Amino acid sequence: MRRTAPALVALGGLVAAGCGGDRGAGEGMAKGRSDGGETPVAGGTAIVAQISDIDKPLSIIYEGNVDGDVSDIMYMALLRGSWKDGKAVYLTSHDSPMSLAWHWEYAGPDSASIRYRMRSGLRWSDGEPITARDVVWTYDMIRSPRVASPRQDFVQQLDSVVAENDSTVVFHFARQYPEMLFHSGLPIAPRHAYEGTPPEQIRSHPRLLRPDSGNLVVSGPYMIGSWRRGQQVTLVRNPHFPVRGHLDQIVLRVIPESATRTIELQTGRVDIARPIAADQVPQIRAQAPNVRFEAEEKRNYDYIAYNPRALDAFADPEIRRALGMAIDVEAMIRALQMEEIAVPAGGPYSPILTQVYDPKRTPPLAYDPEQAMRILESKGWRDTDGDGIREKNGRPFRFTLLTNSGNQRRADIQQIVQQYWKRIGVDVRLQQMEFNSFQSRIFDKNFEAALGNWSVGLSPDLTALWAKGTTYNYVSYDNPRVFELFRQALEQPTEEEAAPYWMAAADLISKDQPYTFLFYFDQLSGVSDRIRGMKVDTYSAFQNVWEWWIPQDRQGASSAR
């Protein structure tokens, strides 16, 4: 799972680069990129292998990685995020055609409001104008408990959103704090396409059940032209996007199995495959030297989540700590051949967040199976019948570790963890299921333990994953002291003043071990040299799809092979 917290969001809590200028709409927009001095040409189809299908491709309700990627392509925000010089920045329309606003400014005597001036003449894919009222409606829906948006925690400090006219919108916050730009930068949804639908029924709206043939109204460079459920999504140009994309189509093929994605990439049946497992890179390089590898640096981490509602033992942080101490993460990284792209994780902050990441303050758990067994003994878990499995009150320490199918790395981690836990007397059953079904089980809290993955948000804000009652807090984490630190962090006027509170909260989360944090790693995409103009970095792999292009002599149906 990706963007949440992140990621779950398009901007991911970016650092402000400064106010926009006052030039007219459209001036200075990004033009098509070139590679090696070549001039981009129009035409062709790029084929992308993805791990799962779309599910809820609407910016206010999407939850998973693929929906996040597709939303990043299809929905504009007031400001567009980017990654520059090791940090995230905000872009107005002068620097990105994906930005609705050409200017922003802090407003009010205490600078607790932000006024955005939007470009005129922008239209949704069905030709209707994009206005400030779409922004107001989007945030009304995010705030509505009847919608139950996964982004509700981003509007906790928001008092109101007011459209002063069709092209000016003002966000009024309870106070000035560092995340104001991020929290006002979520992708905007089309009011006219859903207005009149009861909020609780938006998830089952016909446009989402049948998002193809132009039914799904979007604002980005590409929209859904056709959809074969469980097989592929074909994106076609949005005729109303202000910059014409070079490619005719982008086809997202659903290929859950990692090995199959690798074969399809090697044989040229797909142009881009993501994610690519690190241990497959040497094989691909040998078989397909025309493939390059692009990395979203330390943007992801794997973890094991414990559900205290399903197993009483998981309510005890010392038990969770014991389970984590039984796993040799460094040996696991070596076994997975990920030494070059992964580092052990000690808590919720990735190395890319340099202002709050401190491995000395929040170090990874030490591998100490002897101490793990002592903790279990002290908690009453003992092997009294000599069968190798600990019991307490007549019940064996046994549970199921759930993950999604089609991911060889996770399948390998399951096997490794099962053996580590067996050594300390814990019996683990392994289960895998299709990605969207796995995701539904997680969000419904219908699991005992789960092996999952998050994409890291580009903000220190931890509330999306760990605040009480949020969609992504599916381990029911509840520590009042942590929540108080969240509140204090969000009350600080600058990132520098908020950082100590976020770090203190991360320390406590690490001590509580609601997850066993395994490792942070680069997500790799394999890209054929047929695809030009693609920019991949910590921010995203889909940040500039309108600039992707294919040389004319390689645009034929068989040119990819």
Which residue ranges form the domains of the chain, and what is each CATH number? 3-271+530-554 (3.40.190.10), 297-522 (3.10.105.10)
The DSSP-derived string for 79-141 is SEEEEETTEEEEE-TTT-TTBSEEEEEEESTTS-EEEEEEPSS-B-TTSPBP-HHHHHHHHHH
pLDDT tens for each residue of the chain, 561 residues long: 333 333 333 333 333 333 333 333 333 333 333 455 789 999 999 999 998 899 889 989 988 778 888 998 999 999 998 877 666 788 999 999 999 999 999 998 889 999 999 999 999 999 999 999 999 999 999 999 999 998 888 898 999 999 999 999 999 999 888 889 889 999 999 999 999 999 999 999 999 999 998 899 999 999 999 999 999 999 999 999 999 999 999 999 999 888 899 999 999 999 999 988 888 899 999 999 999 999 988 888 999 999 999 999 999 999 999 999 999 999 999 999 999 999 999 999 999 888 899 999 999 999 999 999 999 999 999 999 999 999 999 999 999 999 999 888 999 999 999 999 999 999 999 999 988 899 899 999 999 999 999 988 778 889 989 999 888 899 999 999 999 999 999 888 888 899 999 999 999 999 999 999 999 999 899 999 999 999 998 888 899 999 999 999 999 754 455
Q: How far is CA 92 from the centre of its chain?
A: 22
CA dist list (Å): 240 to 186, 200, 201, 243: 21, 30, 28, 8
CA distance 211 to 512: 42
Q: What letter does residue 532 receive in the DSSP assignment?
A: B
pTM here is 0.79
Pairing label, strands 45-50, 249-254:
parallel
> Helices then strands (H, E): number in the chain?
15, 21
Record the tokens describing residue 514, joined without a space: 């609601």
Q: What letter does residue 71 receive in the DSSP assignment?
A: H
Residue 429 CB coordination number (10 Å): 12
Residue 8 forms beta bridges with which residues? 3, 4
